[in-house]
Amino acid sequence: VPARRIALVPPRYGPEVVGGAEAVIREVAHGLADRGWSVDVLTTTARDHFTWADAEPAGPSVDRTAGGAEVHVTRFPVVKDTPGEERARVDALVQAGDMPTLAEQEAWMNDGPRWPELFHHVLDTAEDYRAIVVSPYMFWTTFAIGGIAPERTLLRPCLHDEPHARFELYEPLLTGSAGVWLQTEPELELYRRVSTPPPQTRIVGEGVPVPDGYDPERIRRELGLGDTPFVVYGGRREGAKGWEGLLHGFAEAVRKEDLDLHLVTYGVGPVDPPADVADRVHDLGFVDDRTRDDVIAAATAYVQPSALESFSRTIMEAWLAGTLVVANGASDVVRWHIDRAGAGLTYADPAELEQALRFVAEAPDQAAALAAPGRRYVLDNYTWPVTLDRMEATLDEWFPA
């Protein structure tokens, strides 16, 4: 095995992919390549996890880092030849609070998009790598690939407190991977509640790039918002991320409290604002990193409505920009960050969200003051050099050359 060769297996990869776990894998790939590792990314041709359509060409390509290093990317095409009925049936069972049997869980896992060519590529080449990093836990790529060579599998699960994490199906992956990278202590606590972490489990955190600067005025000009306060949400707009809850809470607050407040969003997924507040909801679609950072810096608050977070990269981006975080307190991880950072507000229900939005609209200076400690917290804990040091240390310790 070459001394410093590693494979990363995310379900999607590339600058245009929306998803925290996938973004982190790309940054890990770049970071390790810049440090002299030979990095192969083995992934799918998909960009969109709703359709899994082949958006990128299959085969090899090179993703160059800012430092000029090469990340070797190989993409494999999807096979979608099952009706999805079994998957829908099991999802309905889970929604109803029932736990499907192992056989049903296996059928659920395999009744969706699959990548046999990717699977067999790893089957052929697993021993060429010191470690094979799979992430996040729920996807077919992680589950199937993680079982090929568990003795060199490094799982980065990005666990959420959701019924699927308790599926017996995942036990081989969760208990049998040779190493596990976690992001936070609450994720480790959750891991212990749902399974048994293997002996080689470590909290390595993750890094957040620190922008050189921000230009909030540019965004305000482009949006035509003047000095009107707005809150922002970025990422995947879907039920699991709490988008509908945020939209509903925002609309209620605006209607009831007659707030002079707008909601700006970027990312993917349908927006669907209620007609009477549609003129206050602005969708920027997919944006580049620079625009994302400027939007966050221009906002009075970043709202994190998701209860299913394993790290919450976006609240770190908000704190770096000096922007207040208003978060759904149902997420243990986000609450933990906010308590440790001494920055941000949480809400427990729509009524509290309404009041938090009212605070943001009515007291923007106070909101900024509440956000202030957040930047130091991120710089002290979650920058890439520190995170990559931790990751490399585990690679050398668990997978010696």
Residue 392 tokens read as: 């490399």
- The verdict on 366 binding other proteins (CB under 8 A) reads no
Nearer to other proteins, 118 or 308 (CB): 118
Does the CA dihedral 21-24-30-31 come out positive or negative? negative
Among 62, 103, 213, 365, binds other proteins (CB under 8 A): 103
What is the size of the binding site for other proteins (CB under 8 A)? 35
Q: Is residue 8 within 8 Å of residue 29, measured between CB atoms? A: yes
Place of tokens 């509903």: 248
Q: Is residue 143 within 8 Å of residue 109, measured between CB atoms? A: yes
Among 10, 198, 229, 235, binds other proteins (CB under 8 A): 198
Q: In the complex, what is the shortest distance from the CB of residue 285 to other proteins, in angstroms, rounded to a whole number?
A: 34
- The verdict on 396 binding other proteins (CB under 8 A) reads no
How does DSSP assign 89-148, residue by residue?
HHHHHHHTT----HHHHHHHHHSS-B-HHHHHHHHHHGGG-SEEEE--TTSHHHHHHHTT
- The verdict on 119 binding other proteins (CB under 8 A) reads yes
List binders of other proteins among 122-151 (CB under 8 A): 123-124, 140, 143-144, 147-148, 150-151
Region at 322 (left for phi over 0; alpha for psi -120 to 50; beta for the rest):
left
Q: In the complex, what is the shortest distance from the CB of residue 94 to other proteins, in angstroms, rounded to a whole number?
A: 15
- The verdict on 39 binding other proteins (CB under 8 A) reads no
Report which residue type is found at 343: A
List binders of other proteins among 70-99 (CB under 8 A): 81-82, 85
- The verdict on 192 binding other proteins (CB under 8 A) reads no
Q: In the complex, what is the shortest distance from the CB of residue 40 to other proteins, in angstroms, rounded to a whole number?
A: 18
- The verdict on 106 binding other proteins (CB under 8 A) reads yes
Q: How many CA atoms lie within 13 A of 95 on its CB side?
A: 8
How does DSSP assign 211-260, residue by residue?
-S---HHHHHHHHT-TT--EEEEEEE-SGGGTHHHHHHHHHHHHHHH---
Q: Tell me, residue by residue from 150 to 189, as one string, x for binding to other proteins by CB under 8 A and - for no binding.
A: xx----------------x--xxx-xxxx-----------
Q: In the complex, what is the shortest distance from the CB of residue 130 to other proteins, in angstroms, rounded to a whole number?
A: 12
Nearer to other proteins, 147 or 245 (CB): 147
Report the candidate in 207, 170, 261, 148 with the shortest Cα–Cα distance to residue 391: 207
Residue 21 tokens read as: 């776990």
Nearer to other proteins, 35 or 87 (CB): 87
Among 111, 128, 215, 362, binds other proteins (CB under 8 A): 111
Q: In the complex, what is the shortest distance from the CB of residue 47 to other proteins, in angstroms, rounded to a whole number?
A: 22
Nearer to other proteins, 48 or 117 (CB): 117
- How open is the CA angle 211-213-218, to the nearest 5 degrees? 115
Question: Which range in 16-24, 116-124, 128-136, 288-296 contacts other proteins by CB under 8 A?
Answer: 116-124
Q: Is residue 93 within 8 Å of residue 104, measured between CB atoms? A: yes
Helix (H) or strand (E) holding 159: none
Note the residues at the interface with other proteins (CB under 8 A).
Answer: 81-82, 85, 101-103, 106-107, 109-111, 114-116, 119-120, 123-124, 140, 143-144, 147-148, 150-151, 168, 171-173, 175-178, 198-199
